Amino acid sequence: MREKNCVKLAEDFLKRKFTESEYFSDKKSEKDYRFEHSIRVANIGKEIAEKEGMDSDAMVIACLLHDISYINEFKTREEARNHGRYSAKIARPFLEEIGIEPEVIENICYGIAIHVDDEADFPGERTKFALSIGDADNIDRFDAYRIFENLKWAKYDEMSIGEKREHCEKVLKRLESYKTLDFATETGKAMWLEKLEYQIGFYKKLLLQVQNSELR
């Protein structure tokens, strides 16, 4: 990394793009969530990089910019699925402008591009660094806040007792299946399992409470 303040420049770039976004102009809660998510992913990525001997500054920059394409509206499911590739296209000229080495740029952009569906629209190497960007993203998506988001999206509060019970059972089955997912590093895998067990524990308690809401 040629400049010691590249991380700060990346954070400022992210803030500026979010502030200038026409799409986010009347969507404060969505903008705040996406920005806070990007910061959390950067912190998770930094921890993985430091423990695994990777370039932590480069990882933080990659994670900060991994979802930057959300400044634009995705009108179709296909466009949303492409958001990693779109983000890489936005990130590349910025990374070149601040003087990051070409090989580091390639690693960052490839990791950003593949973080959604493991596919990029340009050639690259599936390094531990590149794969860890998606790992950090997944780890945050299964932390405490996402429990609240998922229950809100599912309209859990509007469900009957039976529907709540079925929902909890379905979520628990899905969470258990995620224990076998592959991660690029041992650090990432350990962090993932910790978050997963937290969610499993929560939904087990929620299911027990639902079951206890009916006379036996």
pLDDT, tens digit (0-9, with 9 covering 90-100), for 133-143: 999 999 999 99
Query: Rounded mean pLDDT of the chain?
Result: 96
* pLDDT for residue 40 is more than 70: yes
More confident residue, 139 or 1: 139
SS3 137: helix
Mean pLDDT along residues 115-144? 96
Q: Please count the other Cβ atoms lying within 10 Å of the Cβ belonging to residue 136.
A: 31
Q: Report the pLDDT value the prediction gives residue 92, as an integer from 0 to 100.
A: 98
pLDDT tens per residue across span 176-194:
999 999 999 999 999 999 9
How far is the C-alpha of 18 from the C-alpha of 35, rounded, in Å? 8
Mean pLDDT along residues 142-170? 95
Band (91; pLDDT cuts 50, 70, 90): very high
Band (175; pLDDT cuts 50, 70, 90): very high
Q: Are 114 and 97 in contact (CB under 8 A)?
A: no
Q: Report the pLDDT value the prediction gives residue 4, as an integer from 0 to 100.
A: 59
Helix H or strand E segment including 47: helix 28-52
Q: Report the pLDDT value the prediction gives residue 216, as an integer from 0 to 100.
A: 77
Q: Are 17 and 68 in contact (CB under 8 A)?
A: yes
Instruction: Please state, for a pLDDT cut of 70, what percent of the chain lies above it.
Output: 98
pLDDT tens per residue across span 47-82:
999 999 999 999 999 999 999 999 999 999 999 999
Largest CA distance in the chain: 67
Q: What pTM does this model have? A: 0.92
**CB under 8 Å to 36, separation ≥6 — which residues?**
none
Q: How far is CA 2 from CA 13, 23, 63, 89, 179, in A?
A: 17, 33, 19, 21, 39
- DSSP code at position 152: H
Q: Report the pLDDT value the prediction gives residue 14, as an integer from 0 to 100.
A: 98
List the structure tokens of 28: 């404060």
